[in-house]
Amino acid sequence: MTGLYLRWSALVIAAVVIAALASRYFEQNLTSLTPEEIVSLQPTRVVRVIGLVKGGTLRGDLDSGHASFELAGRQEALPVEYDGPPPENLRELKTLVVIGSLDPSSGTFLAHELALVTNYGYVVGAYLIGLLPLAIFLFGMERKVTFLYREIKESKLYEPETAHHVDTR
């Protein structure tokens, strides 16, 4: 019985460690700023900005990978110059994440990559729905087997039966 609980607690600890690593990774890499924050903070390093491609502002040659558009937040819109691989997900009125840096002199955002909006909680939910029932199912089975072996051992059901037969005769 102790062995069973030890094994499973080791497994749970390992899973928690991986979950912590994953959440740290995604906080570092995938937190996105809004256009308002860009305007107020004026960051210099490469950042991710989430917003809606404003209707009627998308211009440029998408097949060769050059485009300019305005990325709208709640109140403000940020002019974006995109220069990178031909984007497939770039459409007007689509919520997108653009990756790049702000040009402080002109106030335009120079993007080199586009990404879809991350819904990481959804992915984690799917993993939990897939793996948690599996773990519970397996744990229940293992515990029952342990109980059964113990019951057989304690009840001495598997002592040879011949003695009993001799008694009755």
Partner 1 sequence: MISALIKWMQRYEGWVGAGGGLCILAGLYLGLVASPPDYYQGEVVRIMYVHVPLVQTGMLAYSTLFIGSLWYLWKRDPIVDNLCHAAAGISAFFTALGLITGSIWAKPTWNTWWTWDARLVSFAVMFLILVGYLMLRTFVDDPEREARYAAVLAIVGFVDLPIVHFSVEWWRTLHQPLSFSMRGVSMSKPMLIPLGIMTVGFSLTFFYMLMVRTQMLYLDHLLTAKKGRLLSQAHLSSDVGSSPSSLSTP
Residue list 47-86, contact with partner 1 (CB under 8 A)? none
Rounded least distance, CB 38 to partner 1, Å: 21
**Surface-to-core class of residue 48, CB atoms within 10 Å of its CB (0-12 exposed, 13-18 middle, 19+ buried):** middle
**Surface-to-core class of residue 71, CB atoms within 10 Å of its CB (0-12 exposed, 13-18 middle, 19+ buried):** buried
Residue list 28-47, contact with partner 1 (CB under 8 A)? 30
Residue list 132-161, contact with partner 1 (CB under 8 A)? 133-134, 137-138, 141-142, 144-145, 148-149, 151-152, 157-158
Query: Cα–Cα distances in Å, from 52 out to 55, 60, 71, 100, 150?
Result: 9, 17, 5, 16, 63
User: Where do contacts with partner 1 occur on this chain (CB under 8 A)?
Assistant: 11, 14-15, 18, 21-22, 25, 30, 88-89, 115-120, 122-123, 125-127, 129-131, 133-134, 137-138, 141-142, 144-145, 148-149, 151-152, 157-158, 164, 168
